[in-house]
């Protein structure tokens, strides 16, 4: 739904309705932006208000009437569509099948109850209007009395939760330290360069991995140099010069 531009001829037309008070052009804008429900706007009052504002013999009278008639017609169309949701459903693919009289009666009786509840609610609101609480508002933190247990639980969980550690049971017990293997490498290097393959020949998978970590650590400290001629090729440990 779009409105034709109302033109500036209506810029001075203001309306006074229960649901809105102000320039007519803003009313159209609010309806288009869904800030105001067209269902709430009494079109008869709107037209009456416009007729009351007309000036006989004004120079722009005809232009103004045309602009208003165009926008009012669009409002009527929009309101009629809003009041007839079945038309929209049909346009969108007709998911809703026609209701049987029994189903329609069921819906209407449910709506009637809500309508009566709304009327009662209006009376309750009216009879309780005019109560103004203290204007003093507490700062939210600190000193807030109300503590929501679920939020405390969530905060604690986030604070104390840790990533799940990967399972290491398959690795077996660790029986050697990085320092021990570093000492073993230094002793081997005292006799000259040694290949990683020969150094770890009699070791299990875990010890080989720790030996590699120890060699990297020594290389970083400058205790040895690592030589590998090609990717994934033989690795040679050499004493530093």
Partner 1 sequence: MTDVERGQPSPEHLLEAVLLVSAGPINRADLSSATGLSTQEMQTALSALAERYAPETSGIVLRSVAGGYQLSTNPNCSGAVERFRAEARPAPLSGAAHEVLSCALYLGPLTRGAVSRVRGVNSDAVVRSLIERQLLAEVGTDQDAPGSPALLGVTDEFLAATGTSSLDDFPSLESLVTQEELSRVRDRLAPGATPPDAGSVPP
Q: How far is the CB of 215 from partner 1 (least distance, A)?
A: 54
Tell me which long-range contacts 199-203 makes (C-beta under 8 A, separation of at least 24): 199/237
Distance CA 142, CA 160 (A): 22
> Could you say whether residue 175 binds partner 1 (CB under 8 A)?
no
> Could you say whether residue 22 binds partner 1 (CB under 8 A)?
no
Q: How far is the CB of 125 from partner 1 (least distance, A)?
A: 6
> Could you say whether residue 36 binds partner 1 (CB under 8 A)?
yes
> Residue 74 in contact with residue 1, Cβ under 8 Å?
yes
Closest to partner 1 by CB, 83 or 227: 83
Q: How far is the CB of 112 from partner 1 (least distance, A)?
A: 6
| Interface residue with partner 1, options 56, 128, 159, 161 (CB under 8 A) | 128
Burial of 194 (0-12, 13-18, 19+ CB in 10 A): middle
Residues in 106-125 at the binding interface with partner 1, rule: CB under 8 A: 107-122, 124-125
> Could you say whether residue 158 binds partner 1 (CB under 8 A)?
no
> Residue 86 in contact with residue 97, Cβ under 8 Å?
no
Name beta bridge partners: 15: 22
Closest to partner 1 by CB, 98 or 190: 98
Query: For partner 1, how many residues bind (rule: CB under 8 A)?
Result: 50
Characterize 16-39 residue by residue with b for buried, 16 or more Cβ atoms within 10 angstroms of its Cβ, and e for exposed.
eeeebeeebbebbebbeeeebebe
Closest to partner 1 by CB, 10 or 46: 46
Tell me which DSSP letter residue 123 carries.
Answer: H
> Could you say whether residue 90 binds partner 1 (CB under 8 A)?
no
**3-state secondary structure at position 23:** strand
> Residue 107 in contact with residue 42, Cβ under 8 Å?
no
> Could you say whether residue 149 binds partner 1 (CB under 8 A)?
no
Distance CA 109, CA 103 (A): 10
Closest to partner 1 by CB, 75 or 214: 75
**3-state secondary structure at position 21:** strand
CB contact set of 55 (below 8 Å; sequence gap of 6+): 61
Q: How far is the CB of 97 from partner 1 (least distance, A)?
A: 14
| Interface residue with partner 1, options 91, 126, 163, 168 (CB under 8 A) | 126
Closest to partner 1 by CB, 138 or 171: 138
Q: Tell me which stretch binds partner 1 (CB under 8 A): 101-109, 148-156, 157-165, 202-210.
A: 101-109
Binding region for partner 1 (CB under 8 A): 18-19, 34-37, 39-40, 42-44, 82-83, 85, 101, 104-105, 107-122, 124-138, 145-146
């Amino acid at each position: 739904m779009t409105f034709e531009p109302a033109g500036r001829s209506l810029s001075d037309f203001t309306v006074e309705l229960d649901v809105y008070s102000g320039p007519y052009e803003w009313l159209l804008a609010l309806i288009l932006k869904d800030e105001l429900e067209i269902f709430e706007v009494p079109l008869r009052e709107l037209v009456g208000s416009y007729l009351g504002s007309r000036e006989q013999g004004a120079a722009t009278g005809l232009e103004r009437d045309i602009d208003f008639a165009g926008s009012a017609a669009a409002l009527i169309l929009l309101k009629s569509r809003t009041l007839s949701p079945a038309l929209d459903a049909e346009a969108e693919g007709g998911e809703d099948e026609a209701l049987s009289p029994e189903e329609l009666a069921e819906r209407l009786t449910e709506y009637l109850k809500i309508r009566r509840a709304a009327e009662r609610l209006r009376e309750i609101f009216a009879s309780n209007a005019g109560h103004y609480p203290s204007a003093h508002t507490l700062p939210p933190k600190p000193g807030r009395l109300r503590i929501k247990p679920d939020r405390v639980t969530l905060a604690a969980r986030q604070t104390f939760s840790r990533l799940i550690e990967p399972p290491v049971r398959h690795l077996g017990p660790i029986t050697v330290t990085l320092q021990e293997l570093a000492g073993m490498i230094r002793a081997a290097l005292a006799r000259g360069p040694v290949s990683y393959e020969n150094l770890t020949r009699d070791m299990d998978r875990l010890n080989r991995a720790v030996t590699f970590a120890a060699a990297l650590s020594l290389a970083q400290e400058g205790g040895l140099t690592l030589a590998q001629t090609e990717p994934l090729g033989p690795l040679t440990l050499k004493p530093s010069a």
